[in-house]
Amino acid sequence: MWTIRTDLAVEAREIWAESAEAQTELPGVIARDKNVAGFDITTVRITDEQGARELNKPVGTYITVELDRFINREEGAFNAGSIALAQEIEELIQMEPGDSALVVGLGNSAITADAIGPMTARHTMVTRHLVDKMPEEFGMLRRVSVLESGVLGTTGMESAELIKAVTERIRPDRVIVVDALASRRFKRVCRTVQLADTGIVPGSGVGNGRMAINTETLGIPVTAIGVPTVVDAGTLAADIAEKAGSREVSRQDFENYGGDMIVTPKDIDTSVNDISKFIGYALNLAFHQGITVDDITMFLG
């Protein structure tokens, strides 16, 4: 059998649990749940190499916020949810007062399912130049710059290469990369945000040995923010076949389905829009003390 593809630590843990023969403890992994303002938040900490091996993810902290209240358009959910997400971001990135940040939108803005990164970038308040040039007016804000790194096919450069070039020049204290992910479960697609202090390997599911974007490669703490926008079709096919009682289906059978298909919600165009704005607002709230959702709307126009 092959590893079912998921970019979410919370799902990797689920898959482990399903395959574990007895209800044994997963060594090297600590998880806890909470609910903030109606939003379910799960933190999975992979504490050692054994946990990393079992879940096929690097050692680090992974926080999953479920967006159902927001997606269902419950009253006040945008504000409450973006504040809750901002708190999780703040806690994870641990910035000092004068620290600066670079927000990188990964992915191809021309492909809806890949546009979470660039669209979040457009909802992020760009303040670096304002703080530098008008400190009396903007000095209370952190210096934030924004990069849409494009994809190899549109730039000819690996995202990691481009980000490294920029960070070496402008030397931010933190890098936040925002990207679209793949989930195993359709119910999580466009319904979940994952924060991770491990950075990211772009397009990692494809197994193409891309250069990682993390603290090791950049020399700066890197936080990854990801949203699953697709179920890998091969993963879906495996799930269905298993449910249908078959364990005989070969990898080849599935690749016939999963080759270049993606499984997305019907309303993906709207969801990607909404969630990008939600994350952008949460980032702004996390970066800048004392600002409100209305301040951000005023700033961004």
Summarize as ranges the residues that interact with its own copies (CB under 8 A).
Answer: 73, 75, 110-113, 122, 126-129, 143-148, 150, 152-158, 161-162, 164-166, 168-170, 186, 231, 233, 236-237, 240-241, 243-246, 248-249, 253, 257, 260-267, 269-270, 274, 294, 298, 301
How many residues are present in the chain? 301
Phi/psi-derived region of residue 173, left when phi > 0, alpha when psi is between -120 and 50, beta in every other case: alpha
Decide whether 36 or 152 has the Cβ nearer to its own copies: 152
Closest approach of its own copies to the CB of residue 56, in Å: 23
* Sheet bearing 222-232, strands edge to edge: 29-36, 39-46, 60-66, 192-196, 222-232, 174-183, 101-106, 144-150
Closest approach of its own copies to the CB of residue 80, in Å: 13
Decide whether 51 or 202 has the Cβ nearer to its own copies: 202
Decide whether 94 or 292 has the Cβ nearer to its own copies: 292
For 12-17, the CB contacts below 8 A with 24+ separation are: 12/55, 12/56, 12/57, 13/44, 13/55, 14/184, 15/184, 16/54, 16/55
Closest approach of its own copies to the CB of residue 52, in Å: 29
Decide whether 62 or 70 has the Cβ nearer to its own copies: 70
Decide whether 33 or 255 has the Cβ nearer to its own copies: 255
Radius of gyration of the chain (CA): 19
Closest approach of its own copies to the CB of residue 63, in Å: 26
